[in-house]
């Protein structure tokens, strides 16, 4: 059955020739078609264009099986790609939220056994079914807010059994939702309580026990490390990434959230798909990223929630780099997967133009999770993951109306949800 969306006020992020990513000054450009149609067949985008060029389907054989949507006054966007989340977790951490309000830093909370270790304890106590159910609820929530592809990390297990438990939940989610899901193994997210004072031994265990088991069950697409001050060093990251790569996992890492950690450089050295957070980026980091295949990915939700300095996004774009944005949905530093709110934060706090922010949450974030050939733009042959907005006056209205859900209809794999 074909699906035809007609009279679209504006069809956003169209590409005749799909690009790998959008970089530098091009990030301010967004290709759109006014008064457009979009034709979907067998879950894929078959065609699109101006209404004036709409084929006469009455004369085409077999088109009696065509469903139509009249999108007058409404826009169609490619679904958001959320390339960095930790959305499989147990419990919530609002107690730490008040600790933060009282002035404790992220590192101080971590030192008191809060933070990631708090989530690890709850992860240990949760069953696979409980984790699956709660993550599925979050997935449904983000689908309703326009997300069509999401990366999910392990990293709240921190024991072999619990990391595998998390990754099996992600695998089950992959098999049972219409979203595109990619998984990352983040055994080196924090040193668990049992290994306190024995960080080197924990790293050895991640390398010699966890990575081979994760690979044996084919549970992760990417290898991740929290390479930052107070967490894992460049040398440890180097070893873990090498071990992951030997097992077919491309690096995609946390870097430079808390300091100039060297995380960006070690990520680029091993051709990471992305380096994420990037609050601490100077000239050396920008030089390292130039000419690389690594997507700098900024997480405005975490910086907002933790009240941190903002990543120098403008400086990176001025240097000709691409930038992606993701939600970082997790219980500690960003308890929301609302990508439209990420657009608003990007515009207000990072002074990104709405067009730049939309590029960063679609085509560029698709690259940052390795799905740019499948989704991230309106292009012929790509998977039909799109959403139709409510009636809105302009593209700029999306980040402007920061508290409103403007998604009216979600279409994933060509199916109206």
Kindly list the residues in this chain that would bind ligand NIG in the complex (CB under 6 A).
86, 115-116, 119, 226, 254, 257, 302, 328, 330-333
2, two tokens: 């074909």
Choose the contact partner of 414 out of ligand NIG, Zn ion, none; CB within 5 to 8 A by kind.
Answer: none
Q: How far is the CB of 70 from ligand NIG (least distance, A)?
A: 42
Q: Where are the beta strands (DSSP E) in 154-211?
A: 180-188
- Of the ranges 19-27, 159-167, 324-332, 360-368, which one interacts with Zn ion (CB under 5 A)? 324-332
Choose the contact partner of 2 out of ligand NIG, Zn ion, none; CB within 5 to 8 A by kind.
Answer: none
Q: How far is the CB of 277 from Zn ion (least distance, A)?
A: 7
Degrees to nearest 5, angle at CA 79 with 296 and 56:
135
Q: How far is the CB of 330 from ligand NIG (least distance, A)?
A: 5
Alpha-carbon Rg for the chain, nearest whole angstrom, is 21
Q: How far is the CB of 311 from ligand NIG (least distance, A)?
A: 13
Q: How far is the CB of 248 from Zn ion (least distance, A)?
A: 22
In angstroms, the CA 294 to CA 273 distance is 5
Choose the contact partner of 257 out of ligand NIG, Zn ion, none; CB within 5 to 8 A by kind.
Answer: ligand NIG
122, two tokens: 């709850």
248, with CB counted inside 10 A (0-12, 13-18, 19+), is exposed
- Which position has the token pair 């709660």? 134
Q: Which is nearer to ligand NIG, 331 or 370 (CB)?
A: 331
In angstroms, the CA 408 to CA 417 distance is 11
In angstroms, the CA 32 to CA 17 distance is 14
In angstroms, the CA 344 to CA 330 distance is 19
Q: Which is nearer to ligand NIG, 234 or 353 (CB)?
A: 234
Q: Which is nearer to Zn ion, 13 or 147 (CB)?
A: 147
Extract the annotated binding site for Fe(3+): 84, 86, 254, 328
Q: Which is nearer to Zn ion, 10 or 333 (CB)?
A: 333
Q: Which is nearer to ligand NIG, 45 or 225 (CB)?
A: 225
CA distances to 57, 131, 140 from 176, in Å: 34, 14, 12
Which residues would be at the binding site for Zn ion (CB under 5 A)? 328
């Amino acid at each position: 059955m074909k699906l035809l969306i007609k009279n679209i006020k504006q069809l956003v992020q169209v590409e005749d020739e799909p690009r790998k990513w959008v970089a530098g000054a091009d990030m301010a450009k967004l290709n759109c078609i006014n008064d457009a149609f979009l034709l979907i067949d067998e879950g894929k985008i078959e065609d699109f264009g101006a209404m004036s060029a709409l084929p006469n389907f009455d004369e085409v054989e077999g088109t009696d099986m065509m469903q139509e949507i009249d999108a007058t006054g409404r826009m169609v966007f490619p679904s958001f790609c959320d390339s960095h989340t930790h959305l499989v977790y147990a419990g919530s951490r609002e107690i730490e939220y008040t600790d933060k309000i009282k002035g404790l830093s992220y590192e101080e909370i971590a030192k008191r056994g809060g933070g990631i270790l708090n989530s690890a304890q709850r992860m240990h106590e949760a069953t696979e079914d409980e984790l699956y159910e709660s993550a599925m609820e979050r997935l449904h929530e983000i689908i309703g807010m326009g997300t069509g592809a999401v990366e999910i990390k392990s990293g709240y297990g921190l024991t072999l059994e619990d990391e595998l438990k998390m990754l099996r939940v992600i695998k089950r989610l992959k098999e049972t939702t219409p979203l595109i899901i990619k998984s990352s193994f983040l055994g080196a997210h924090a040193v668990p309580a049992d290994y306190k004072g024995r960080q080197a031994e924990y790293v050895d265990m991640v390398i010699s026990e966890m990575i081979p088991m994760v690979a044996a069950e084919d549970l992760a697409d990417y290898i991740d490390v929290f390479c930052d001050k107070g967490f894992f060093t460049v040398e440890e990251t180097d070893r873990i990434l090498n071990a992951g790569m030997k097992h077919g996992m491309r690096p995609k890492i946390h870097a430079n959230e808390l300091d100039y950690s060297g995380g960006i450089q070690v990520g680029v050295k091993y051709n990471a798909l992305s380096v994420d957070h990037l609050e601490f980026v100077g000239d050396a980091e920008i030089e390292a990223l130039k000419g690389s295949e690594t997507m700098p990915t900024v997480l405005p939700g975490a910086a907002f929630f933790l009240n941190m300095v903002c990543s120098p996004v403008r400086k990176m774009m001025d240097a000709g780099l691409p930038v992606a944005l993701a939600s970082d949905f997790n219980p500690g530093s960003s308890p929301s997967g609302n990508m439209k709110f990420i657009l608003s934060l990007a515009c207000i706090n990072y002074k990104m133009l709405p067009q730049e922010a939309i590029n960063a949450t679609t085509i560029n974030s698709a690259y940052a999770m390795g799905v740019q050939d499948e989704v991230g733009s309106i292009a012929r042959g790509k998977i039909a993951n799109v959403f139709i907005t409510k009636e809105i006056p302009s593209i700029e209205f999306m980040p402007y109306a920061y508290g409103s859900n403007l998604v009216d209809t979600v279409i994933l794999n060509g199916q109206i949800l």
